[in-house]
């Protein structure tokens, strides 16, 4: 996409406080950013500070289409000076204002959608709201739309720092974290965030607010950050444990029924979970999660687990056959 380099320049100018839909950024950089922010604000946990985690209500389904489209067109008019500019601007309008829910094909019973909350489906958001979450353009454009909020919050943080109050801000999609060493100043930041989000025609979830001393820790994008250490969320650990048990059961079937595709999928799945465990202080937890496989002779026929339980590899004889 021709606007991506310009989006990246915008995010860099703001201060690299957003971590999604950017090359070289992701959940790891988001966790690292918050980890370092807490460390800096608390003087390496030597002083108390406070933090707030906010979440936007039905983010992708609530995006104001016309406003986001106009912002994108204005941005392209000002920042893009390459080829096919008029075509690009026309495409922005076509893509952002598209309503796929009006002419989609159901592969399931429409009744299955009845239990969804109104802010979880394009079918109920109403005209002028929402964007298809599976489209890459939606992810990129939504992140651009939120750059206005990022810039505003960074400016608020700078105002506090000019007064000698330490504060920081980071965001991943619709989750954001505020850290501050002054409780009242943090309340001011939260209020400022609420006003700004409301002006953008979005809402901060009233039931998903987390306001606690930094020493209590905070859960952010699947990682619990507490007192200079990183831990996996209970939900991720639970999924990991269940997946290991499921694989152990699967490996009990006759060898002739296990395909090369099965082995590839198992290898990728386990290393994905183990990769997420990296840099987290959870050796005993991941060993316990992997226990059904550590003691499975059927599993060990095909795979090897390293001594630190940090990586799974396919045994050489099976690599030769399936590669």
**Predicted pLDDT of residue 320:** 57
Say what the pLDDT of residue 274 is. Answer: 94
- Angle at which helices 260-277 and 283-294 pack, to 10 degrees? 160
As a three-state string, the secondary structure of 274-316 is HHHHCCCCCHHHHHHHHHHHHCCHHHHHHEEECCCCCCEEECH
Q: What is the pLDDT of residue 197?
A: 98
* Rounded distance between C-alpha atoms, residue 200 and residue 188, angstroms: 19
pTM for the model stands at 0.86
pLDDT tens-place values along the chain, 323 residues long: 799 999 999 999 999 999 999 999 999 999 999 999 999 999 999 999 999 999 999 999 999 999 999 999 999 999 999 999 999 999 999 999 999 888 888 888 877 877 788 788 888 888 899 999 999 999 999 999 999 999 999 999 999 999 999 999 999 999 999 999 999 999 999 999 999 999 999 999 999 999 999 999 999 999 999 999 999 899 999 999 999 999 999 999 998 899 989 999 999 999 999 998 888 888 999 999 999 999 999 999 999 999 999 999 999 888 755 44
Q: What are the residue boundaries of the structural domains of the chain, listed by start?
A: 4-107+120-229, 233-322
Residue 287's contacts (CB-CB under 8 Å, 6 or more residues apart) are 294, 309
Q: In sequence order, what are the residues at sequence separation of 6 or more whose Cβ sits closer than 8 angstroms to the Cβ of residue 64?
A: 128, 129, 200, 201, 202
Distance of alpha carbon 51 from alpha carbon 54, whole angstroms: 10
Q: What is the pLDDT of residue 113?
A: 78
Please tell me the predicted confidence (pLDDT) of residue 322: 46
């Amino acid at each position: 996409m021709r606007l991506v380099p310009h989006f990246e320049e915008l995010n860099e100018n703001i201060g690299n406080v957003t971590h999604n839909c950017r090359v070289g950024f992701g959940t790891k950089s988001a966790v690292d950013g918050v980890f370092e922010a807490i460390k800096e604000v608390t003087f390496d946990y030597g002083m108390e500070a406070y933090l707030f985690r906010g979440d936007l209500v039905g983010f992708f389904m609530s995006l104001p289409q016309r406003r986001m489209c106009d912002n994108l067109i204005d941005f392209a008019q000002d920042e893009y000076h390459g080829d096919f500019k008029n075509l690009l601007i026309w495409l922005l309008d076509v893509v952002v204002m598209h309503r796929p829910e009006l002419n989609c094909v159901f592969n399931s019973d429409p009744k299955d959608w009845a239990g969804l909350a109104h802010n979880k489906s394009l079918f109920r958001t109403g005209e002028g709201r929402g964007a298809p979450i599976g489209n890459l353009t939606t992810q990129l454009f939504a992140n651009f739309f939120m750059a206005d909020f990022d810039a505003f919050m960074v400016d608020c943080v700078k105002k506090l720092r000019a007064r000698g109050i330490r504060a920081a801000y980071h965001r991943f999609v619709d989750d954001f974290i505020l850290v501050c060493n002054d409780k009242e100043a943090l309340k001011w930041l939260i209020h400022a965030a609420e006003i700004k989000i409301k002006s953008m025609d979005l809402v901060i979830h009233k039931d998903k607010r987390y306001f606690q001393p930094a020493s209590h820790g905070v859960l952010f994008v699947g990682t619990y950050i507490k007192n200079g250490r990183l831990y996996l969320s209970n939900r991720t650990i639970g999924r990991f444990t269940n997946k290991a048990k499921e694989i152990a059961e699967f490996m009990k079937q006759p060898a002739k029924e296990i395909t090369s595709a099965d082995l590839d999928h198992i290898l990728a799945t386990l290393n994905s979970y183990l990769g997420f465990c990296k840099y987290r202080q959870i050796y005993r937890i991941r060993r316990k999660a992997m226990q059904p496989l550590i003691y499975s002779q059927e599993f060990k026929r095909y795979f090897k687990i390293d001594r630190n339980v940090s990586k799974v590899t396919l045994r050489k004889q099976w690599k030769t056959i399936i590669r």
